[in-house]
Chain A
């Protein structure tokens, strides 16, 4: 596609529920990143994929968070047993060149946990 696409744009869920957020990167971009942004803060790194594998998952806050990219294109961020503190905007970005390339971001998925 022309840009990074994220769905859903908004998700409201109840505490304890399971949530999936989807990211479709720019066609041909092998590097994919997930970030989380809270109000008034800069984005915070969660996980980086190079192809199908997670090259760096050091930013995932705990084992309730998991992400996959099975075919090296679309990625899904999965959050189990959601907590109110998980409420944030989840941003996905992709890059053509892994380490030094320009990052292009999607519009984000706003997650609200009630």
Chain B
């Protein structure tokens, strides 16, 4: 079964810092990897989708990379803002594990003014 791990579990940074969130997965046979943001008491907002054939995707201040062979992805957030405070979830869709996205437990990010 695909296992997804996110490190760190929680992170606090001052406003303006660049930061990296890490995601690792155990089975490199994947269709794609998706990063989500979740605000307290809310649903998940899709941030970036990386297909297995891609190395990275960018949206505004966010950049996600994928190294399928090593089972790793990173989410880079540039010039962090207090509004970026949320939980960030990584999810992997494995080509050997049916149709489900397998999620990590998330990284809880706090950006302080």
Contact = CB atoms under 8 A, between A and B. Distances in A.
A40 interface: yes
Contact of A99 (B31, B89, B106): B31
B60 interface: no
Contacts of A105: 36, 43-46
B105 interface: yes
Contact of A103 (B42, B46, B105): B46
A85 interface: no
Chain A at the B interface: mostly helix, strand, loop or mixed? loop
Interface in A69-114: 91, 93, 98-100, 102-108
Contact of A42 (B32, B49, B99, B105): B105
A56 B100 contact: yes
A103 B101 contact: yes
A9 B106 CA distance: 23
A103 B99 CA distance: 11
Interface in B19-34: 31-32, 34
Interface in B86-113: 89, 91, 93, 98-106
Interface of B: 4, 31-32, 34, 36, 42-46, 49, 51, 89, 91, 93, 98-106
